[in-house]
Chains A and B, each alone.
Chain A
Amino acid sequence: MILPYFIVIPLLAAFLIPLVSRRRDTGAVVLSLAAVSSLLVLAGLAFSGLGGETLVYRMSAWKLPIGIPLVLDALSALMLIMVGLIALTSLVFSVRYIRRLGRDWRYYALFMILVTGMNGVIITGDLFNLFVFMEIALFAALALVAFGGRAHEFEASFKYAVMASISSSLILLGIAVVYGATSMLGLATIAQSLADKSPLLVLWTGGLFMAGFGVKTAAMPFHAWLPDAHSSAPSPISAMLSGVLIKTLGIYVLIRLFYNVLGAPPLFLDIFLGLGAVSILLGNLLAIGQWDLKRLLAYSSIGQVGYILLGMGLGTPLGMAGAVFHMINHAVFKSLLFYNAGALETALGTRDLRQMGNVTRLLPITSGTSMIASLSISGIPPFNGFFSKLMIIIAAVQAGQSVLALVAVVGSLVSMAAYLKVQRYGLRGGRPVEKLVGEVDVAMKAAMVILAVLCLATSLLVVPAVREATLDPVVKVIMDKTQYALTVLGK
């Protein structure tokens, strides 16, 4: 059974890194790269070998209503691939970037704990187990946000920690209510016993989980912590946070709980739509006003998460396919944009768009890849962002929500304006830069080029034959709703 290895490998690496590391960080780099690439290979094998089936692993061989199951279906396998991919490029990018902050093995140990937490959340089939893994991921994320050790980084980390502790308390309260009503903690068993309970109970638990995981998703009314935390963290960590952490702790858990456990109650789908529309408009609009490149990217993350929520809220297979597709795409291009910001910061010593000048000649790869990423995120064909936004907009029109489709189009135009600002004032600005303060090394360039190629390659997912093999099994798992419970319990 390969399921426990998704948790064991990164956790073991996190444990071994402090043991093998002395003064140099070579051991830590090699170990963490080996761990993450083996995770990516395993996830790829799992996704291709799964073929729409569901694997269940019973921890310590306890029978199901009592024990804790690990569940691997198409949705979790896809999420595992996403985490593995972004973690691998992020580590490749980190090597040089982190040496600037000090040759430190602690960064790699914390990074592996972050990956452990995220993989655990994705693969577990137990509500309280999910809570524990979520806290593990959050601990590592909080420490990594403050890793630079400057005053504003501690400030951002404290703000994030307070918001995270409020949301975790709400989630724990939700778990307590669920347990009080059903005496169950496994997601599958809860889904079965909630089906014949009163709608009021679904309302209570749904409300608590929506508020708790809404904060982790950073949808618009719950977003206050995100711009600070994501812009203060080291750039590879910003890519991990924006690219995958808000999606595993937020979007993935919301999909799992509201579709597979609660069976997609219409009231909460409407809330998804509302949150999505507000996030799309305000997130992109606020992004335009920023001059700090990483703050601009962070606000734009809120807007892009809005698209995913919109697709989820429509409740149609096409909308869900669009949401899943946009989730993958956003992980790819937003991580790439954060690497670009990190490379620019390394080379120019600033993140302020007004301080950057005409760098297309000095940094051809950085500016070229950032152009590709900007085109993708603002939805220009033939890049991936265009297709996923188009799918969501078509799904909205088909579902009779033409106002929301209009909101999505307007939001896309506004986000294009924000990225035109990045390109026009930042990378192609009038202020000429004479010399660079730092060097963008081969590893950083490699990480950026890999993701830039993926920006084009993932648009192939829209081709019907490819889509049948990749997106459709994931959408089937989600749209089958509480069928999940029967599959896991083996009936």
Chain B
Amino acid sequence: MTLYALCFALFLVGLYGLLTKRDLIKIILSSGIMGYACNLMLVLFGYRRGGVYPILERGREAGPMVDPLPQALVLTSIVIELGVTALLAALAIRLFQKYRTYDITKIRRLSG
């Protein structure tokens, strides 16, 4: 239970950073932290105490193995997150070229 609570706390850390930070780079890092928390949660749901690696060989039972599906899901979601982070970083670079600043409060050509 502690692990789940800590994981959720990590998610909230990311959300807090995303909502309050003013620096574009810190916003990108916060969005990464949020993603990690989700991935960790998925892996935790698939874990079982004292489990073994999920490869079925001759003479081994499927019973004590950890659930391999969340691990596959997490791999996919890590790749998606890589894409999101790369896109955000590219946009941040272009924004810096246009405005000469990373401060989100100074990048305000659009209103609300």
Q: Mark A147-172, 1 if CB is under 8 A from B, else 0.
A: 00001101111110110011011001
Task: Please tell me if the beta carbons of A172 and B91 are within 8 angstroms of each other in the complex.
Answer: no
Determine whether B66 belongs to the interface, using a CB cutoff of 8 Å to chain A: no
List CB contacts (< 8 Å) of B17-51 with chain A: 18, 24, 27, 31, 34-35, 37-39, 41-42, 45-46
Nearest CB to that of A66 among chain B residues? B69
Bound-state CA distance A166–B83 (Å) is 15
Known: A143-B87, A162-B18, A172-B38. Is A232-B95 also a contact (CB below 8 A)? no
Task: Please tell me if the beta carbons of B88 and A176 are within 8 angstroms of each other in the complex.
Answer: no
Bound-state CA distance A107–B24 (Å) is 27
Nearest CB to that of B76 among chain A residues? A132
Known: A154-B98, A158-B24, A166-B15. Is A146-B38 also a contact (CB below 8 A)? no
Bound-state CA distance A351–B35 (Å) is 38
Q: Mark B72-86, 1 if CB is under 8 A from A, else 0.
A: 010011001001100
Task: Please tell me if the beta carbons of B34 and A166 are within 8 angstroms of each other in the complex.
Answer: yes
Determine whether A49 belongs to the interface, using a CB cutoff of 8 Å to chain B: no
| The one of A146, A152, A162 that contacts B27, using a Cβ cutoff of 8 Å | A162
Bound-state CA distance A224–B70 (Å) is 33
Task: Please tell me if the beta carbons of B91 and A146 are within 8 angstroms of each other in the complex.
Answer: yes
Known: A154-B98, A232-B110. Is A173-B45 also a contact (CB below 8 A)? no
Q: Mark A263-293, 1 if CB is under 8 A from B, else 0.
A: 0000000000000000000000000000000
Nearest CB to that of A149 among chain B residues? B94
| The one of A154, A173, A232 that contacts B91, using a Cβ cutoff of 8 Å | A154
Determine whether A472 belongs to the interface, using a CB cutoff of 8 Å to chain B: no
Determine whether B92 belongs to the interface, using a CB cutoff of 8 Å to chain A: yes
Determine whether B6 belongs to the interface, using a CB cutoff of 8 Å to chain A: no
Task: Please tell me if the beta carbons of A183 and B67 are within 8 angstroms of each other in the complex.
Answer: yes
Task: Please tell me if the beta carbons of A224 and B88 are within 8 angstroms of each other in the complex.
Answer: no
Determine whether B107 belongs to the interface, using a CB cutoff of 8 Å to chain A: yes
Q: Shortest Cβ distance from A19 into chain B, in angstroms?
A: 22
Q: Count contacts on A: residues with CB < 8 A to the other chain.
A: 34
Nearest CB to that of A229 among chain B residues? B110
Q: Shortest Cβ distance from B40 into chain A, in angstroms?
A: 9
Task: Please tell me if the beta carbons of B45 and A180 are within 8 angstroms of each other in the complex.
Answer: yes
Task: Please tell me if the beta carbons of B112 and A155 are within 8 angstroms of each other in the complex.
Answer: no
Task: Please tell me if the beta carbons of B45 and A154 are within 8 angstroms of each other in the complex.
Answer: no
Bound-state CA distance A282–B99 (Å) is 32
Q: Shortest Cβ distance from B87 into chain A, in angstroms?
A: 6
Nearest CB to that of B86 among chain A residues? A139
List CB contacts (< 8 Å) of A191-231 with chain B: 224, 227-228
Determine whether B60 belongs to the interface, using a CB cutoff of 8 Å to chain A: no
Bound-state CA distance A176–B42 (Å) is 5
Determine whether A128 belongs to the interface, using a CB cutoff of 8 Å to chain B: yes
Central interface residue in A139, A161, A176, A224, by most chain B CB within 10 Å: A176
Task: Please tell me if the beta carbons of A165 and B67 are within 8 angstroms of each other in the complex.
Answer: no
Task: Please tell me if the beta carbons of A161 and B42 are within 8 angstroms of each other in the complex.
Answer: no
Determine whether A179 belongs to the interface, using a CB cutoff of 8 Å to chain B: yes
Task: Please tell me if the beta carbons of B112 and A227 are within 8 angstroms of each other in the complex.
Answer: yes
Bound-state CA distance A224–B112 (Å) is 6
Chain A residues with CB under 8 A of B95:
151, 154-155, 158
Q: Shortest Cβ distance from A181 into chain B, in angstroms?
A: 9
Q: Shortest Cβ distance from B55 into chain A, in angstroms?
A: 18
Q: Shortest Cβ distance from B9 into chain A, in angstroms?
A: 13
Determine whether A142 belongs to the interface, using a CB cutoff of 8 Å to chain B: yes
Top 9 A-B pairs ranked by shortest CB distance? A180-B45, A151-B98, A172-B38, A152-B109, A169-B34, A176-B42, A165-B31, A176-B41, A158-B91
Residues of A within 8 A of B (CB): 128, 131-132, 135, 139, 142-143, 146, 151-152, 154-159, 161-162, 165-166, 168-169, 172-173, 175-176, 179-180, 183, 185, 224, 227-228, 232
7 new A-B pairs (CB below 8 Å) besides A154-B98, A165-B84, A169-B35?
Answer: A151-B95, A151-B99, A162-B31, A168-B80, A169-B11, A172-B42, A173-B41
